[in-house]
């Protein structure tokens, strides 16, 4: 008995330790987020708070929503997708690339015409506005008008106001809206069309016109988990994005609440 009892006790102790380990802290996981370029500043701030509050890490890939959606459709290793367009999220949903019941609307935005910070004028969009003349031989910076949401919204707004036909030959198209913002900020283009949140993020530009909401499709940023990559960590981040603290950060960066 003296020889047998310690072995039993040792086995029991090991069993207790094993069970206790199973109830330990949740494993730290890495989360990869593909997100619209216009979301960069806000999402990085939100992710910083999320990582400080959890054991998880977040890595971003920022680009135009069209580029990111196509990459995800081809199997790119994204855990979460944040789009600047419901159309590209609809595309992935139709392709079966989204986790069921994980999609929600994160934020809205508005569309603005910007100039360099030395421009003190203002513009009233309309058919009588001579936008090419205001460019003074320069270019109007816009994201790709047939693929990137900001460019699609911008083209629709200019068409609504009867300004597109005259200014189309003078448009400099970029891969994403932040690239269009950079052209104006750096003085490479006198004017640009971007989101209000982009203008708020760049002190070297100023807003000289705001396009009415009815002039373009509603700007909505949906977010969802990518099919096959739905983990407790990614669900935790999706939940965090839906909290008031995240919404406050989004509003501070120039985004808008989504209309009910």
51, 74, 115, 222, 246 from 188: Cα distances, Å: 37, 35, 11, 32, 34
Please tell me whether 179 is known to bind a ligand.
no
The residue written with tokens 């100023």 in the block is 206
Residue 197 marked ligand-binding:
no
User: Residue 54 — φ and ψ, nearest 5°?
Assistant: -130, 180
- Candidates 91, 92, 246, 258; CA nearest to 80 is 92
Alpha-helix runs per DSSP H in the chain: 4-22, 40-53, 65-73, 86-94, 131-135, 149-160, 164-167, 177-185, 196-201, 232-241, 244-252
Q: Is 61 annotated as a binding residue?
A: no
Quote the CA–CA distance of 35 and 80 in Å, as a whole number: 8
Is there a binding annotation on residue 122? Answer: no
Write out the binding residues. Answer: 38, 65, 150, 177, 195
Binding-site residues from annotation for molybdate: 38, 65, 150, 177, 195
């Amino acid at each position: 008995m003296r020889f047998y009892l310690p072995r039993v006790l040792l086995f029991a102790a090991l069993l207790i330790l094993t069970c206790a380990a199973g109830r330990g802290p949740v494993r730290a996981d890495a989360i990869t987020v593909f997100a619209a370029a216009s979301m960069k500043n806000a999402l990085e701030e939100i992710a910083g708070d999320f990582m400080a509050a959890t054991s998880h890490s977040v890595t971003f890939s920022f680009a135009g929503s069209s580029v990111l959606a196509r990459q995800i459709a081809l199997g790119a290793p994204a855990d979460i997708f944040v789009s600047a367009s419901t159309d590209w999220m609809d595309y992935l949903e139709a392709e079966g690339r989204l986790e069921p019941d994980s999609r929600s609307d994160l934020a809205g935005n508005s569309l603005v015409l910007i100039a360099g910070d030395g421009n003190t004028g203002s513009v009233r969009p309309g058919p009588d506005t001579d936008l090419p003349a205001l460019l003074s031989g320069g270019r109007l910076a816009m994201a790709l008008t047939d693929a990137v949401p900001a460019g699609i919204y911008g083209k629709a707004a200019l068409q609504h106001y009867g300004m597109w036909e005259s200014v189309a030959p003078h448009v400099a198209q970029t891969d994403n809206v932040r690239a269009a913002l950079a052209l104006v900020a750096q003085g490479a283009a006198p004017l640009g069309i971007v989101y209000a949140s982009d203008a708020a993020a760049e002190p070297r530009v100023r807003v000289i016109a705001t396009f009415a909401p009815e002039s373009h499709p509603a700007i909505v940023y949906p977010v969802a988990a990518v099919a096959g990559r739905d983990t407790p960590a990614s669900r935790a981040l999706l939940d965090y994005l839906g909290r008031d603290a995240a919404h406050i950060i989004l509003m501070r960066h120039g985004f808008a609440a989504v209309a009910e």
